[in-house]
Structure 1
Amino acid sequence: MPESWPPSPFHVGISGWTYKPWRGVFYPPGLPHRRELEHASRRLGSIEINGSFYSLQRPESYAKWHAESPPGFVFSVKGPRFITHMKKLANVEAPLANFFASGVLALREKLGPVLWQLPPSLGFDAARLAAFFAQLRRSTYAAAALAARHEERLTDRALTVADADRPLRHALEVRHSSFEVPGFVELLREHDVALVCADTAGKWPMLDDVTSTFVYVRLHGAQELYVSGYDDPALERWAGKARVWQSGGTPDDGRTLAPPAAVRERDVFAYFDNDVKVRAPFDAMGLSRLLGVGVPEAADTGTVLQP
């Protein structure tokens, strides 16, 4: 198992890590639940935190996750559904402050992109999106300044400082067909927000357009949403797409809406969310190996971490 993850433009992992069916399959029998992140973060170089989508977490939780993962590990953080699904991106200055005050900045150098997932009921509205994008903070110092304006109810559980000033990047996942217009891609590029390429078994849009300095991929299952796994040919295909994106190109085996972005090397983040049948961690390890960032095959079934 790696004591640290070496630098790489590829960040491959899973969406969340606390799933009961994974115990005894991905997590060795007898592994204490409190060691699950330790186990996962030594087999994969990145994880998408999804508990933050359902409720505000606490600074001590983020600090704990930072401490439990090895150097070089990266977390993406999913923005709250209160902002995306309930407020539908409108009048969210206070909720954004609360989110950044909830402890996100405790991830320090391991903080990767923030993911904003829109609900299927929310269609394309350029003015609404532009107003939301304008409120997003693009550095950790700016996020800390916003966090200081959190609501009073968070006073005893807020973190409003950053240990250093680092870039803060954002990605947007959409689930309504009205977004399938060139103007949407152009708007994302104008605001430097990454368009999530989401494989959702054909249920929602999947676009390969590059709109930022990085690419964000979510793999929910090709045949059955959240259930079906990715076989070797499928993983090879996604590895090929990731290499093209990273080298500055745009894959030619998918769908795009706008002219290609300027050629430049990019980071690629890819997360598997097909967790129902415990496919996600193994598919993620498979894609990691194809991209040269995985642990050796023999390490997959290593001995149980001792409590």
Structure 2
Amino acid sequence: MAGTIRIGIGGWTFEPWRGVFYPEGLTQKKELSYAAERLTSIEINGTYYSTFKPDSWRKWRDETPEGFVFSVKASRFCTNRKELAGAAESIEKFLGQGMTELGDKLGPINWQFMGTKKFDAEDFEGFLKLLPKERDGLKLRHALEVRNQSFDCPQFIDLAGKYGCAIVYGLDDEEPGWPLIDAATADFTYARLMSSREELAAGVTDSELDGFSAQTRAWAERGDVFAYFISGAKVRNPAAAMALIERVR
């Protein structure tokens, strides 16, 4: 049975979206609910830089419709470090801030690594061992976003599969040096599509939408899919996400 496809954007607070994606006059406190009615997922990015109180997580849960799911970008203090295997304290602080208040709206956690971080099998496995499979009765799903070509190797893919972590499919037209790995290492796929262009009303061309739609459907044959239009021409990402939602339907 095919998995569930969820498509969205990164974050929901972005001034240039006002008057383009958000209607003129919409108050900022209503932006999340407006976005969540038109998209099926959002990657929370602010968690990369800051922690939030449980009340914030509950508020986000309550402002979004049933079936909507958030993914969460992990704290940079967990991943931007020389020794990944020593990240236990940072991981606990990140996971303990209250995100389980999202309940069944908690989707995957994206652990993003800088482009300068090279693959070290022993240290990276030490990091993967620190990632819990559940918290407060909720299953946790982990995605690994690597940006150094040294990770494009069978050993890394095998490690991700051993620990049931997805490898983020990070398509960025401006970063040809990043590895583009499409491997079934988990029961879900996590894609960050960073190729939108401002001169296009939908951010991408019709033929690109056809390609993304076909690829998303293929991913769904192996499990759930979380696909985000992110970075690129950020002002166009909501339009691109909504267009892809319609194509997939």
Post-superposition shift, 1:239? 1.0
What displacement does 1:277 show?
Answer: 4.8
Distance in 2, Cα, partners of 1:217 & 1:105: 23
Question: Moved runs in structure 1, 4+ residues, more than 3 A?
Answer: 274-277
Match of 2:194 in 1: 220
Spell out, residue by residue over 1:209-251, the C-alpha distance to the aligned partner (whole angstroms, 9 max, x if none): 1211110000111679xxx932111111011111111113xxx
Partner residue, 1:22? 17
What is the correspondence of 1:50-129 to structure 2 with a 5 Å cutoff?
Answer: 50-86=45-81, 89-129=84-124
1:33 aligned to which of 28, 34, 40: 28
Contact 1:84 1:116 in 2 (8 A): yes
| 3-state SS of paired residue (1:55) | coil
Higher normalized strand content (fraction of residues): 2
Sequence identity (%): 43
Separation in structure 2 between the aligned mates of residue 133 and residue 179 of structure 1, nearest angstrom: 14
Aligned: 1:209 with 2:204: no
| Equivalent residue, structure 1, for 2:216 | 242
1:195 corresponds to? 167
Which residue is 1:154 aligned to?
none
Could you list the per-position Cα deviations for residues 31-65 of structure 1 after superposition, in whole angstroms to 9, with x for gaps in the alignment?
Answer: 00111101100000110000000111221111110
Cα distance, 1:18–1:87 mapped onto 2, change above 3 Å = farther
TM-score relative to the length of structure 1: 0.75
- Residues 112 and 63 (structure 1 numbering): CA distance in 2 closer, same or farther, change over 3 Å? same
With over 3 angstroms needed to count, the CA separation of the structure-2 counterparts of 1:34 and 1:192, relative to structure 1, is same
Amino acid at match of 2:26: L
Equivalence map 1:153-302=2 (5 Å): 165-201=137-173, 202-221=176-195, 229-248=203-222, 266-274=223-231, 276-292=233-249
Equivalent position SS for 2:179: coil
Larger radius of gyration: 1
Q: Tell which deviates more after alignment, 239-248 or 112-121.
A: 239-248
Task: Return the letter of the residue paired with 1:218.
Answer: R
Query: How far did 1:80 drift?
Result: 0.3
Corresponding residue for 2:126? 131
Deviation by residue 1:70-121 (Cα, 9 ceiling, x = unmatched): 1111000010011111465231111111111211111111000000010011
Kindly indicate whether the alpha-carbon contact (under 8 Å) linking 1:229 and 1:274 is maintained by their aligned counterparts in 2: no
Q: 1:4-36 deviations in whole A, cap 9, x for unaligned? A: xxxx70010001111011011100000001111
Contact 1:140/1:166, CA 8 A, preserved across alignment: yes
Contact 2:6 2:225 in 1 (8 A): yes
Is residue 123–residue 179 contact of structure 1 (8 Å, CA) maintained in 2?
Answer: yes
Aligned 8 A contact 2:197 2:204 in 1: no
Answer whether contact 1:199 1:222 (CA < 8 A) is retained: no
Paired with 1:245 and 1:100, the residues of 2 have a C-alpha distance of 28
User: Bigger CA drift: 119-128 or 199-208?
Assistant: 199-208
Aligned to 2:67, the other structure's residue is in SS state coil
The root-mean-square deviation of aligned C-alpha atoms, in Å, is: 1.7
Query: May I ask how many residue pairs the two structures share in their alignment?
Result: 242
Q: Tell me, in whole angstroms, the C-alpha distance in 1 between the residues paired with 2:226 and 2:4.
A: 8
Deviation per CA, 1:246-297, whole angstroms, max 9, x where unpaired?
Answer: 113xxxxxxxxxxxxxxxxx001101103645111010001111111xxxxx
Unaligned ranges ≥5, structure 2: none
C-alpha distance in 2, partners of 1:89/1:12?
Answer: 30
